[in-house]
Amino acid sequence: IEEYIRNQIQDDYVADQLTLFEEYDLFTGEKNKKKS
């Protein structure tokens, strides 16, 4: 069960990072550059 929870948290984290990256890239390239 613990391993499953860890995997879910990791998947959510990765998904959040991708979403943030896409939002910054789409709306403001400047913020996107600062993040990376």
Q: How much of the chain, in percent, has pLDDT values that exceed 70?
A: 42
Please give the model's pTM, rounded to 2 decimal places.
Answer: 0.38
Does residue 35 sit in helix, strand or coil?
Answer: helix
Domain of 8, in residue numbers: 2-35
Average pLDDT over every residue of 6-24: 74
Average pLDDT over every residue of 8-35: 65
What's the structural domain count of the chain?
A: 1
pLDDT score of 27 more than 60: no
pLDDT bucket at 3, cuts 50 / 70 / 90: very high
